[in-house]
Every structure is written in structure tokens, then in C-alpha cells.
């Protein structure tokens, strides 16, 4: 039986954030389909080769009215907290700007 071809992922938008613990690649491959990949940089000094490549980050949103959000790399533990834009379905540019600013209200621990 011949194999069927998988539908290719069409990259619609791409943005790279350069942060202290490695770059975060923000990809949108469809309406409302966001992916974040963290290029982990070895910070422990243990020589763990597993942290030298990209891993998909998890996105979590908190609170009904606060619109707090957090990106978290499950491979190395790097977090990035930010305020989710006011729109329930923000544009790629709005979300990229919110992540870049990374502004959280005072006394909020994520």
C-alpha cells in the first residue's frame, strides 16, 4: 500500500526573540495556531548535550480578567511571563510585541 503524503505545514509568520537563555522562535502556521520553540543554551555547566537544541515551549494563560500568560520551556526551565493582548484572538504582531515587552503587573509570580 503506497504511503500518503502528509499535508505540508505552511509557515505564515515567523519572529525570533533573542533572550539571555537562548532565542525563542515564534511561529504561526495557521489562524490561532501558535508554536514557540526555545533554543536552549547550556547554563548548568554539566555538559548535558540534550539542552543544545530547540524544544517546543508550553503556553499557559492565567486569570479571567488579568490576561497573564507564560511561556515555559520544559527542557531547561526557562520561563517568559507577559500580558496577553486584549483581543481573544490577537494578531501575530500584537502577540509578538507582548512577548517582547514581557511586562507583568508588580507582585505577580508565575
Tell me: the pLDDT tens digits for 45-96?
A: 554 554 455 678 998 888 766 688 888 888 888 888 888 888 777 888 988 9
- Nearby residues of 55 by Cβ (< 8 Å), 6 or more positions away: 37, 38, 40, 73, 74, 75, 76
CA–CA dist 6, 45 (Å, integer): 40
> How is residue 94 annotated by DSSP?
H
Residues 14-34: what's their mean pLDDT? 83
Q: Could you tell me how far CA 18 lies from the centroid of its own chain?
A: 12
Of 33, 25, 79, give the one whose Cα is nearest residue 55.
25
Query: Which residues partner with 82 through β-bridges?
Result: 69
Q: In this predicted model, which residue has the larger pLDDT, 104 or 24?
A: 24
Predicted structure pTM score? 0.68
Amino acid at each position: 500500500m503506497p504511503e500518503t503524503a502528509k499535508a505540508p505545514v505552511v509557515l505564515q509568520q515567523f519572529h525570533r526573540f533573542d533572550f539571555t537563555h537562548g532565542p525563542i522562535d515564534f511561529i504561526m502556521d495557521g489562524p490561532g495556531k501558535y508554536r514557540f520553540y526555545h533554543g536552549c543554551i547550556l547554563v548548568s555547566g554539566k555538559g548535558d548535550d540534550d539542552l543544545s537544541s530547540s524544544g517546543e515551549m508550553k503556553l499557559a494563560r492565567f486569570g479571567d480578567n488579568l490576561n497573564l500568560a507564560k511561556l515555559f520551556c520544559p527542557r531547561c526551565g526557562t520561563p517568559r511571563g507577559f500580558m496577553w493582548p486584549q483581543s481573544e484572538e490577537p494578531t501575530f504582531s500584537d502577540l509578538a510585541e507582548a512577548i517582547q515587552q514581557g511586562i507583568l503587573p508588580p507582585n505577580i509570580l508565575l
